[in-house]
Amino acid sequence: MMDSYTAFAGLRCIAAGELEQTVLAAKRHVDANPTAPILIFEDRTGTQIDFDLRGTPNEVRARLAAHPHFVATTAPSTGRSGPGRPRLGVVSREVSLLPRHWSWLAEQPGGASAALRRLVDEARKRDPAHDDARRAREAAGRFLWAVAGDLPGFEEASRALFAGDDARLAQLVSDWPADVGDHVRRLLQAGRPAVSPVASET
Cβ atoms 183, 6 nearer than 8 A: yes
pLDDT at 197: 46
Distance between CA 29 and CA 32 in Å, rounded?
5
Instruction: Please state, as a whole number, how many other Cβ atoms lie within 10 Å of the Cβ of residue 59.
Output: 12
Question: Residue 36: its pLDDT value, please?
Answer: 85
Residue 197's identity, in one-letter code, is P
Tell me the whole-structure pTM to 2 decimals.
0.70
> What's the half-sphere exposure (Cβ side, CA atoms, 13 Å) at 91?
5
Residues in the chain: 202
As a whole number, mean pLDDT of residues 25-33 equals 96
pLDDT in tens, 5-20: 999 999 999 999 999 9
